[in-house]
Amino acid sequence: MPHIQLFSIIKNYLSQIHSGVTQINLDIEHGQIVSIIGESGSGKSTLLKVIYGTILPQSGEVHYNGVQIIGADEKLIPGHNKMKMVSQDLTLNLYAKVYDNIACLIANTNLDEKRELTLQTMDFLRISHLADKRVSDLSGGEQQRVAIARAVITEPEVLLLDEPFSQLDAILKKQLREDVKRLAHYLNITVIMVSHDPIDGLSMADKIVVLKEGKIIRQGTPKAIYQNPQYAYVAKLLGKANILTNSNLLPNISQTYAIYPQHVLLHKEQKGFAARVKSTSFAGNFEEIEIIYQNLKITAYDYQMLNFMPNENVWFTITELMEVED
Ligand code: ADP
Ligand code: MG
C-alpha cells in the first residue's frame, strides 16, 4: 500500500479561477524521495500543504497508510502528526542557541537521551560546530540546516520540504541535498520536496512530479522524464532545452522538438549547419554558447572548450532530438 495517496484533489483559491491545483492523483511509496517541480505559481506549495493537511481541498481525498486524513477544519493541530514541514519562512527562535532550538522539541523525561539525540541530529546535519551560536548569527543555509534538524529530531514518518535549498549556492546545495538524502534513507522517512530548481529533484529524487498550471502533467523517475519529457514545458524545466518547430533542422517540419543544449555539438570547421556565435558564458566544465541560425536562437553547451568568441562563425550538428508536445 502506498504511504500517501491523493485522489482527485481540487483546491482552487476563491480569488482566482485558475489557481491552486486540479484533479491531482498521486501515489507516494514508503521511503521514497519525491520531488515536485514546476514553474512559479504552478501549485507546488498548495499541493504540499494539501498533503500536510493545512489546506483543505474542495474535493478529493488524501489517504495516509490507507486511511483518509481528516481535513484541517476538523483538527486541532495543523498538519498530520506523523509529518513535519520545513517551509521557506523558517520558524526558528533567532535569539536562542542552535542547540536549544533543536533540543527543545524533545521532552525532558530522559535528559541523557535528549542530549544524545540532539547531538546526533546536529552531527547528521553537520551543524555540531554551531551548537552554541545564536540562530540570528548564522547564514541562511545554516539556518535551513537547523530547521531540518528540528523537523527530523521528532522522528516524523514524512518530511515535507518547501524550497529547502533556496538560500544556498551551488556547492552548499549539493551538500545539503546529499545530507537530506542520507538522512532520509537512514531514518527511513518519506520525503516530499518542492523546488523551483529542478536539478535539486533530478539528483536526489526517486520520483519526479511535474506540475503545470495546477495539474500533474508528468511523473516518473528523474531519468525517464529527463530522457522522454513529452512536453516542451518539461524539457525546458529539466534541461533548458531548445524548443524548435518549423525549421529545416528538423526531420519533420510540422513536429515540435526539444533539444538539450548538450546535444547541440559545435564545430570550428565546416560541418553540419552554419551559424554565428551570439554570446558565450563560462560555466566551469562547459561553456554555454548562444548561436544564431537563420532567425533562431539556439543554446549549446560546449564541453570541448573550443573557446568561441561572439560574432564568430560556427558550425553545428544535432546529436539527439526529442519529439514533444507544446
Ligand atoms: P508554487 O508554489 O508552485 O509557486 P502556489 O501553490 O503557491 O504555487 O500557487 C499556485 C497558484 O495559486 C498561484 O497562481 C498563486 O497565485 C495562487 N495562490 C496561492 N496561494 C493563494 C492564496 N492564498 N489566495 C489566492 N491565490 C493563491
Ligand atoms: Mg511555492
What is the model's pLDDT at position 71? 59
What is the model's pLDDT at position 159? 96
Q: pLDDT-based confidence at 15, cuts 50/70/90? A: low
Encode pLDDT of 122-159 as tens digits.
Answer: 999 999 999 999 999 999 889 999 999 999 999 999 99
pTM above 0.85? yes
Structural domains in the chain, CATH included, are 4-229 (3.40.50.300), 240-324 (2.40.50.140)
**CA of residue 43 to ligand 1 center, whole Å:** 6
241 φ, ψ to 5°? -65, 150
Encode pLDDT of 151-194 as tens digits.
Answer: 999 999 999 999 888 778 778 888 888 999 999 999 999 999 99
Q: Read off the pLDDT of each residue in 296-315 and give the average, rounded to a whole number.
A: 96
Query: Which of 45, 46, 196 best tests ligand 1's pocket when mutated (most atoms within 8 Å of CB)?
Result: 46
Report the distance separating Cα 74 and Cα 44, nearest Å.
Answer: 24
Report the distance separating Cα 297 and Cα 300, nearest Å.
Answer: 10
Q: What is the DSSP string of 47-59?
A: HHHHHHTSS--SE
Of all protein residues, whose CA lies closest to atom 22 belonging to ligand 1?
13
Inter-residue contact 321 to 259 (CB < 8 Å): yes
**CA of residue 41 to ligand 2 center, whole Å:** 7
Inter-residue contact 158 to 82 (CB < 8 Å): yes
What is the model's pLDDT at position 76? 45
Which three-class secondary structure state does DSSP give residue 231?
strand
More confident residue, 74 or 303: 303
Is the CB–ligand 1 distance for residue 19 below 6 Å? yes
> What grid cell was written down for 275?
551559424
Report the distance separating Cα 241 and Cα 291, nearest Å.
Answer: 14
What is the model's pLDDT at position 208? 96
What is the model's pLDDT at position 73? 57
Ligand with minimal distance to 46 CA: 1
Q: Read off the pLDDT of each residue in 106-135 and give the average, rounded to a whole number.
A: 95
What is the model's pLDDT at position 168? 80
Q: How many residues does the chain have?
A: 326
Query: Which helix or strand (DSSP H or E) is residue 292 part of?
Result: strand 287-293
> What grid cell was written down for 191?
520525503
Q: Read off the pLDDT of each residue in 78-92 and give the average, rounded to a whole number.
A: 81
Q: What is the DSSP string of 70-85?
A: PPGGG-SSSS-TTEEE
Report the distance separating Cα 106 and Cα 305, nearest Å.
Answer: 54
**CA of residue 33 to ligand 2 center, whole Å:** 18
Atom of ligand 1 nearest to the CA of 48: 6
Percentage of the chain beyond pLDDT 90 is: 78
Using the predicted structure, report yes or no on whether residue 57 has a pLDDT greater than 70. yes
Where does residue 65 fall: left (phi above 0), alpha (psi -120 to 50 degrees), or beta otherwise?
A: left
